Amino acid sequence: MADTTDRLPDFPRDFLWGVSTSAHQIEGAVDVRGPSVWDLFTAEPGNVRDGSTAVVACDHVARYREDVALMRELGVGAYRFSVSWPRVQSPGGLDFYDRLVDELCAQGIRPVPTLFHWDLPADLDWLERDTASRFADHTAVVADRLGDRVTKWITLNEPAEHTLLGHALGTHAPGKKLLFDALPVAHHQLLAHGLAARALRAAGVRDIGIANSHGPTWPASAEPADAEAAEFYDVILNRLFSDPLILGEYPEGLAEFMPGDVAADLEIISGDTLDWYGINYYQPTKVGAPGGADESATEFSGISLPPGLPFSVKEIEGYPVTDFGWPVVPEALTELLVGFRERYGDRLPPVVITENGCAYEGVDDQGRIAYLDGHLRALHRAMEAGVDVRGYFVWSLMDNFEWAEGYTKRFGLVHVDYDTLARTPKASYHWLRDALRAYRP
């Protein structure tokens, strides 16, 4: 049993508590929307661990009222969901989000839509600059329809993973294996953020964020070669996406690999595009120099990395691990946030933790309770150290289609029976519900 009997520390009364999901992972109802790159990717044998697809997923389109009722009982103040770009392109596609937003507002839950969470329409390509402009058009359409009720918006989710896994390594959709030739994908997504922010500003929005994944990078040793490899990894997985947004510049040496008029694009990327900065945190990464006997076994989030990279990812020992094999290191969240504050100073906007969660089997998920308890305490320590954090979203409300892992990993506070689609709140759901009730008058 998790030893979480002590009451959580006090968070500000206006702190935003929420849960997160994404469209492709839960919605189903693929027959009434266009295809995405993930539909094409999962249709190819061998791309998903259990051979599954998201054709039904959690059937959220049909069961959204039940799911909103679960959120209301949980006591969260916000729901972070994503808007399926292919669904919006289809006749009547925005009607579903109209109904969802209405239901959320009726239950006193703030809707926080993410405008892109990896399910790119199948006829588009992030290697093409025009996709950024198309995304701005998509943003304008959604904001026009939902903006009378939605005030808080997220442009993109995890462009780092979408670039690395989808375009550099090919283990996610669209399955490209470009390695460092995938860098234009990163630039075009960042440009898409900037153009989308302009569209939202034109619609009167004053509460815009992005959800970037970040984690501390730990050198495998004090040796210069390991430190150099860790610095390179940190630049590619962290600073490549935060520096342009916050500082208006790429880390040294990277701008030359980006397409187009980079200086002009950086003005769009960083110019009045963020009211707050979203961070998705799961784990730190230990990185060393390439080579050695274990090079062929180098992995990133369970994915084997190809040889020849200028770094290797090492196992972090001495910590418990989730069912995904990820180390549970709450103190690394404090380290990450304090490090961001030190790096960016007054230029760092207020922060929102837009994802934090873990994969564990079972309804009596004591491991998840311990994980959430530890990370919320670590978050509070960062706030005590001066980091301006405004909210926290658990990943995820419910078990769902976990991308290339299919249905083999469960991140939800709510268990989903994929045969019957029955929802069963887990022990962690009840723990969080009780914790949140303790904050409310």
Judge whether 341 and 357 are in contact, CB under 8 Å.
Answer: no
158 part of the active site: yes
What are the backbone angles phi and psi of residue 265, rounded to the nearest 5°?
Answer: -65, -40
Spatial separation of the C-alpha atoms in residues 374 and 368, rounded to whole Å: 10
**Catalytic annotation, pick one of 27, 103, 158, 402:** 158
C-alpha to C-alpha distance for 210 and 215, rounded to whole angstroms: 16
Active-site pick, 103, 161, 335, 355: 355
Cα distances from 391 to residues 162, 229, 288, in angstroms, run 24, 33, 34
Burial label, 272 (beta-carbon count in 10 A; 0-12, 13-18, 19+): exposed
Burial 207-234 (b: 16+ CB within 10 A, else e): ebbbbbbbbbbbbbeeeeebbbbbbbbb
Q: Which tokens belong to 267? A: 């003005």
**Which residues are identified as catalytic?**
158, 355
